[in-house]
Amino acid sequence: MSLPSVKIICEPSQDRKLRDNAWLMTEFETLWKQYFSDIERKNPVMAAFGRPARVRLGSIRLTRKKVSKIIMNGHFRDPSIPNEVVQAILAHEMTHYAQGFGSQLEKKAKFPHRCALVDKELIRRGFGETLSIQKKWTKNHWQHYIEEYKKNTKKYSFSNKKTRKKNHSEPFQGTSEKCGFVTKFANFVRKF
Ligand SMILES: [Zn+2]
pLDDT in tens, 113-130: 988 999 999 999 999 999
- What is the per-residue pLDDT for 174? 44
Q: Find the 48 Cα to ligand 1 centroid distance in Å.
A: 16
Asked if residue 162 is part of any domain, the answer here is no
Q: For residue 49, what are the domain limits?
A: 21-152+170-190
Sequence-distant (≥ 6) Cβ neighbours of residue 59 within 8 angstroms: 50, 70, 71, 93, 167, 168, 169, 170
Residue 35 carries which DSSP code?
A: H
Asked if residue 158 is part of any domain, the answer here is no
Asked if residue 63 is part of any domain, the answer here is yes
Query: Is 37's pLDDT higher than 70?
Result: yes
Query: Is 157's pLDDT higher than 70?
Result: no
Average of per-residue pLDDT values in the chain? 82
C-alpha 157/C-alpha 153 separation (Å) is: 13
C-alpha 112/C-alpha 132 separation (Å) is: 20
Q: Find the 112 Cα to ligand 1 centroid distance in Å.
A: 6
- What is the per-residue pLDDT for 17? 87
Query: Is 68's pLDDT higher than 60?
Result: yes
Asked if residue 6 is part of any domain, the answer here is no
CB atoms within 10 A of CB 123: 14
Q: Find the 15 Cα to ligand 1 centroid distance in Å.
A: 31
Residue 170 carries which DSSP code?
A: E
Asked if residue 12 is part of any domain, the answer here is no
Beta 45-49 vs 68-72: how paired, if at all? Answer: parallel
What DSSP element (H or E) covers 133?
Answer: helix 128-137
Q: How far is CA 173 from the centre of its chain?
A: 10
Burial class (CB in 10 A: 0-12, 13-18, 19+), 3: middle
Query: Is 133's pLDDT higher than 80?
Result: yes
C-alpha 21/C-alpha 191 separation (Å) is: 30
Query: Is 24's pLDDT higher than 50?
Result: yes
For residue 40, give Cα distances in angstroms to 33, 43, 45, 86, 98. Answer: 12, 9, 11, 23, 8
- What is the per-residue pLDDT for 153? 75
Asked if residue 157 is part of any domain, the answer here is no
Q: Find the 16 Cα to ligand 1 centroid distance in Å.
A: 29
Q: Find the 153 Cα to ligand 1 centroid distance in Å.
A: 28
- What is the per-residue pLDDT for 62? 97
Asked if residue 71 is part of any domain, the answer here is yes
What DSSP element (H or E) covers 70?
Answer: strand 68-72
Q: Find the 117 Cα to ligand 1 centroid distance in Å.
A: 9
Query: Is 73's pLDDT higher than 70?
Result: yes
Report the domain count for the chain: 1
Asked if residue 144 is part of any domain, the answer here is yes
Q: Find the 50 Cα to ligand 1 centroid distance in Å.
A: 16
Query: Is 173's pLDDT higher than 90?
Result: no
- What is the per-residue pLDDT for 12? 65
- Shortest CA distance to 88 belongs to which of 62, 126, 61? 126
